[in-house]
Chain A
Amino acid sequence: MFCAINPDLDHLQDGQFDFHFSAKDNLTTVGLPTRAGSRILEGYRPAFDAHAVEAMRQAGGLLLGKTNMDEFGFGTFSTNSAFGVPRNPFDLDRSCGGSSGGAACATAVLDGHVALGVSTGGSISCPAAFCGVMGLTPTYGRVSRHGLLDYGNSLDKVGLISRRAADLEMHLRNIAGPDPRDPTSCAQPPMGKSAPVRSIAVPKDALEGVSDEVSRSFQDALDRLRDDLGLKVETVETPSFRFAMPSYYVLGCSEASTNLARYCGLRYGVQSEEITEHFDKYFSRIRSENFGREAKRRILLGTFARMVGFRDRYYMKALQVRELIIQEYQRVFQDHDLLLTPAMPFTAPRFDAIDDMDILEVYKADYLTIPPNISGMPHLSMPCGYAQGMPVGMQFVANHWQEGLLFDIAQRWEEAFRLRAPEVTA
């Protein structure tokens, strides 16, 4: 689950720190390598901490290490890392989810741990659901992205994974706030307390394509939210959500293809001994030798979507669809506090089943996590049941900047639901 351990751990004294935490490997860290799961960043030693890492250290946190992830966040199962594959602590033959798979796994097995994760299209909700822990993805812009190795800069959010609701609130307050080094963080209102959650909307087609075992756990959770927590649960129509996934892959890959242009064997990571080649040949060789398969696939797709003649059909249309989805959420939030779906359509799959999936099946696995991610809505994945020993997650979504509602539901659900720890421990 870790791809780098803090080399100073043995010299640090117990009691010197208030808590321990980890950082996903796409957040820069002084004193530890930062490779974002990619061979192309082998040898990169950042000169500064990412904002979120710096804030956690200042709050009294001990950084244990860097957690493994899909290369640059490109994946759903953490199987696209150049540095090994984290295994699910509930069943070692199954995936932790991705792309913050190492972060969710560390949280599941280390008591009191809090992990910094990053979500672009569901990379916190998915692994949190598969590993039976809580994953909070804040509003886009709530946490500075300074020091984050971008995947899609209009989509990336730094968030938290924990086993305790109170930790999510406490640590989001530590890492949130305006930071001039990331202008998108400067538009945020202060994070206040919210009124208690009273009503929840569930999309009419929330269970379409969802496995029977996840459907059963989700329905049981709805009953408990209604009966035990006294919440009003109503069905709503969300017709534009079906366009979220294609829009996400257009926007995410377009942004990734430009963001990854900087990795060419010159300023960061891998460099070749041989630099007598023409620069075009040199950059192409380094990139071809060191990017993984999924990174290449997404760079190709994103480059194509931005090319003259295709830009209006794909990229510009995807931007418009994002606006439609935001408007649809805001219509729902006029009458309801939160929107709820399962987090993932199935429980953590076995690695042999993942090997048999084709590319569209893998991409489509994210269809429940993409709508809040593409629209920048804060969301929270929480365990809501267990199916054949594997955790099932549900995902609450709130309006922009309404993280307080998520803290309220997290605390109330935590009191009503017994969280299980895996038998495997660190």
Chain B
Amino acid sequence: MDRDTVTRVAKVARLELTEEELVSFHSDLEKVLDYLSVLDEAPESGSFNFNPIPVEDVLRDDVPVQEHDPAVLLRDMRTYQDYIRGPLL
């Protein structure tokens, strides 16, 4: 992983790195990726799941419910007439 790749990955992850962080993470990630290359030696299992146990969809009737009081959910957010305020699009 070169330094430009670290910068590109950070941008995708929405992280602004200082010069010191860039140098340090570049070094750390190179070490870690070097270690991860042992995965190339692992045999193919032929199958996989996204969870360690079989999981099935759980469905419910399509009926609107209100689990939480919207006022409680909004109490710590910056709002304007019950809309959440955010930065510019």
Contacts and interface: CB of A to CB of B under 8 A. Distances in A.
A324 B45 contact: yes
A141 B87 contact: no
Among A155, A296, A307, max chain B CB count under 10 A is at A296
B82 to A, nearest CB: 14
Contacts of A240: 42-43
A47 B39 contact: no
Main secondary structure of the interface of B (DSSP, over half): loop
Interface stretch (A67-75, A121-129, A207-215, A271-279): A271-279
Contact of B29 (A301, A320, A358, A400): A301
Interface residues of B, number: 57
Interface string B58-78: 101000000111001101111
A282 B48 CA distance: 38
A223 to B, nearest CB: 33
Contacts, number: 175
A19 interface: no
Among B21, B44, B58, max chain A CB count under 10 A is at B58
A318 B35 contact: no
A317 interface: yes
A29 interface: no
Among B9, B13, B17, B88, max chain A CB count under 10 A is at B13
Nearest to A278: B88
A243 interface: yes
A241 to B, nearest CB: 11
A275 B31 contact: no
Nearest to B41: A243
Interface string B27-67: 01101110110111111111111111111111010000001
Main secondary structure of the interface of A (DSSP, over half): helix
A316 interface: yes
B25 A183 contact: no
Nearest to B16: A288
A218 interface: no
Contact of B28 (A247, A297, A324): A297
A266 B47 CA distance: 39
Interface in A326-355: 326-327
A375 B53 CA distance: 8
A247 B39 contact: yes
Contacts of A413: none
Given A300-B29, A323-B47, A187 B56 contact: yes
A82 to B, nearest CB: 17
A20 interface: no
Contacts of A293: 21
B75 A186 contact: no
Nearest to A289: B16
Interface of A: 43-45, 47-48, 139-141, 154-155, 180, 183-184, 186-187, 240, 242-243, 246-247, 249-250, 257, 261, 264, 266-267, 271, 275-285, 287-288, 291, 293, 296-297, 299-301, 303-304, 307, 313-314, 316-324, 326-327, 358-360, 363, 374-376, 400
